[in-house]
Chain A
Amino acid sequence: MKTDEKTDTLPDVKTGTYAREKGEIVLREHKFDGIQEYDQRLPNWWLFTFYMMIVAFLAFWVGYYNLGINESMSDKVDAQMAAIQKRRDDQMQELLATLDDKTLMDWSRNQDIVGEGKSLYLGKGTCATCHSADLTAINNGIPLGGRSLADGEWVHGGNPMDVFRIISDGSPPDAEGLNGAKMVPWKVLLSGQEIAKITAFLIHSNPNDFEDY
């Protein structure tokens, strides 16, 4: 074994209180692979940050988990989602307060609204996926998942407002559906205005079915 000159010149090092009392360099008791650690005093600023972290932890722990002073991240997300839902519900309520069969009939005679309804039907609303672009629910001879919207039959009620409600809320809970497939509530994806425009487009496309309103 080669001896290291530098360590040979060090003063004797002792462990524990004996060394401390004698004013000698203190080593920690443990020893691994012949290596020992000095037991020197940590810098005060470092200890300060350490104690501050303990204080901060307690403050956060008490604040967040015991007193509920601060909202947690998931609470914040939940609150925001609830606010969005409330706004949507409010908008829907506001719309329903004024919307009736007559309004929908008026809208179905407005070419602009019908045009918007058609592009929603084909595009964002994805209605055409199940009911086909020509409303027959048949694409190239293959029947799709939805009911035909061009056969004059309105299974869940034929008022303009019934059509609106079916799109908005989906099939009634007790409905059997077509081959077991039921309409889902579209109000989660579309606004009330958009649903009303799609309804106007459907009324416009089936002029004979809604003559009485």
Chain B
Amino acid sequence: MATQTKKNSPSLEQVTTINEDGSRYFLHPSDVRGVFTSLRRWFGYILIAIYVALPWIPINGYPAVFIDLANRRFHLFGITLIPQDLWVLFFGISGLGFLLFFVTALLGRLWCGWACPYTVFLEHVYRRIERWIDGNAPKRRKLDAAPWTGSKIVKRLIKYSLYFLVSTLLAHVFLAYFISIPELWNYMALGPFAHPFSFGVVAFFTITFLFCFAWFREQFCIIMCPYGRLQSVLTDEQSVVIGYDEKRGEPRGKGKPRNNLGDCIDCHRCVHVCPTGIDIRNGLQLECIGCAACIDACDQVMGALKLPKGLVRYDSEVGLERKKKKWIRPRIFVYGILGLIGLIAFTTVAFFKASPYYVNVFRSRGVAPFVADAESVRNQFEFLVINKRNQPVNFEVVLTEAPPGATLVGETERQLDPLEEEAFQLKVVVPSDQYAGPADLKFAFKSNLPGKLREMKESFSGPNVYYLKRLIEGE
């Protein structure tokens, strides 16, 4: 465990949570109440509810999000993707990435403080448990320093048991995204040795959650998170971040006659509540996750002093300097447009991929493109159909555009079990006396499931008409 050395006020030269000797300085942020804290907590609970609920909500017969690795079928909000469709994720993921850039350029690290799963679990679950068992910040600090008495052991046992319980629940929900709730229940009933790999995944995530949320905490955000490292290039002086109004606050200081002093009474509330241990009055720093705890802390103090709120507030660098604020900048357009392109492309493609089955047709390989004799001209095609639904589906392949006299030979009606895929061959046959040269073909796939009629273009190839005539007459 970390050694507790007395720290000076946070500075710009050092990371508060790392001591001079490299050991960890374990933070105990003070309690804070206020508008942003309440909003953030509710928002966090909603996000946790969504995380837990998604595998339970069935859409089109599958959980809302079900990444079925075993069958290589990916069910997303009623759309089933197969590995052949996964290229659309390029647009989806890059679109979401640019959307995040867009939000960052506008509003700074809104993601980190409000929506990042790491913060949500840490702030609204694990820190709440710690607060409940160990008490407020001074009590927690005292307990950390206290010798291992009976009551400390009991408290630690209760705290880590609760941590473990929550971690293992979260890890099971995580696994449910990949194997679905009924299967998860089934695995749990069979015990850990029936599915050692899945059990290993859950065990790994349980331990990871425990390690991260019980001990590692803000170190991840400060040193490891790649998104955090991108901040300095994504934001500019117009981005709305959490800032301290120097013009109003300085010179800071305690003291009753405030004639020469600013509004900051140097009470250090903003420092004590900070979960990453910085002093926001030093300006925006890489450790800041935009959690707004310092805003609530300062507003409370300002309220008690009957001074206007907002000494620490959501504002841009230029706003804090009382200069003209600008929302519209080139980077807003670049990130916004790139994000929109990605998301529009993703939703459009996903919409077309939303059909309940996948079909593809191509000319058979390894055989002659056509066979022609006195009787007929024949082309062979291969079909691949994949049923994406959890119900059997009946297919019929028909020709909607074809040269005169063309018929489809073979078993055109097929039945596929749920998630089954089938490859089969069909021939297109044109009698020689009706043959009038190569032509366009269109196959349509009819099914008993609702959805668009799928059509696919191919071409019917054959010999020169006169050559075929001579061949037949010659025989």
Contact = CB atoms under 8 A, between A and B. Distances in A.
Interface of A: 6, 10, 25, 38, 40-47, 126, 129, 139-140
Interface residues of B, number: 21
A63 B406 CA distance: 66
B10 to A, nearest CB: 14
Interface in B345-403: 366-367, 371-373
B366 A25 contact: no
Which has the most chain B C-beta neighbours within 10 Å: A10, A38, A45, A129?
A: A45
B3 to A, nearest CB: 10
A46 B21 contact: no
A204 B20 CA distance: 90
B211 to A, nearest CB: 11
A26 to B, nearest CB: 10
B366 A43 contact: no
A126 B23 contact: no
Nearest to B474: A141
A38 B471 CA distance: 88
Contacts of A6: 12, 282-283
Contacts of A44: 21-24
At the interface, is chain B mostly helix, strand, loop or mixed? loop
Contact of A47 (B14, B22, B372): B22
B473 interface: no
B223 interface: yes
A35 to B, nearest CB: 13
B373 A45 contact: no
Interface of B: 12-15, 18, 20-24, 216, 219, 223, 282-283, 366-367, 371-373, 471
17 contacts: A6-B12, A6-B282, A6-B283, A10-B12, A38-B13, A41-B18, A41-B20, A43-B22, A44-B21, A44-B22, A44-B23, A45-B216, A126-B366, A129-B367, A139-B371, A140-B373, A140-B471
A6 B250 CA distance: 13
A42 B22 contact: yes
Given A40-B14, A129-B367, A140-B371, A46 B23 contact: no
A45 B13 contact: no
Nearest to B25: A43
B362 to A, nearest CB: 18
B13 A41 contact: no
Contacts of B20: 41
Contacts of A42: 18, 22
A42 B222 CA distance: 13
B223 A46 contact: yes
Q: Enumerate the 4 nearest inter-chain pairs by beta-carbon distance, A residue then B residue, closest first.
A: A44-B22, A41-B22, A43-B18, A25-B13
Given A38-B13, A140-B373, A45 B283 contact: no
A45 B216 CA distance: 9
A128 B410 CA distance: 19
Contacts of A139: 371
A10 B219 contact: no
A38 B373 CA distance: 85
Given A126-B366, A129-B366, A43 B219 contact: yes
Nearest to A26: B13
Contacts of A40: 13-15, 18
A45 B223 CA distance: 11
Contacts of A140: 371-373, 471
Nearest to B222: A43
B223 A43 contact: yes
Contacts of B23: 44
A41 B22 CA distance: 6
Contacts of B12: 6, 10
A128 to B, nearest CB: 9
A139 B378 CA distance: 14
A46 B219 CA distance: 10
A163 B274 CA distance: 85
Given A25-B13, A40-B14, A45 B219 contact: yes
| Residue among A38, A126, A129, A140 with the highest chain B CB neighbour number at 10 A | A140
A139 B21 CA distance: 86
Contacts of B223: 43, 46
Nearest to B18: A43
Interface centre among B22, B223, B367 (most CB of A within 10 A): B22
Contacts of A38: 13
A43 B372 contact: no
B24 A41 contact: no
Given A42-B22, A43-B223, 10 more contacts: A10-B13, A38-B13, A40-B18, A41-B18, A41-B20, A41-B22, A45-B219, A129-B367, A140-B371, A140-B471
A126 B367 CA distance: 9
A41 B373 contact: no
Contacts of A47: 22
Contacts of B366: 126, 129
Contact of A41 (B21, B216, B471): B21
Task: Choose among B18, B20, B223 the residue with the greatest number of A CB atoms under 10 Å from its CB.
Answer: B18
B252 to A, nearest CB: 13
A126 B20 CA distance: 75
A41 B21 CA distance: 7
Contacts of B282: 6
Nearest to B246: A5
B12 to A, nearest CB: 7
B77 to A, nearest CB: 37
A25 B15 CA distance: 13
A45 B14 contact: no
Contacts of B13: 10, 25, 38, 40
A45 B367 contact: no
Contacts of A45: 24, 216, 219
Most buried by B among A25, A41, A46: A41
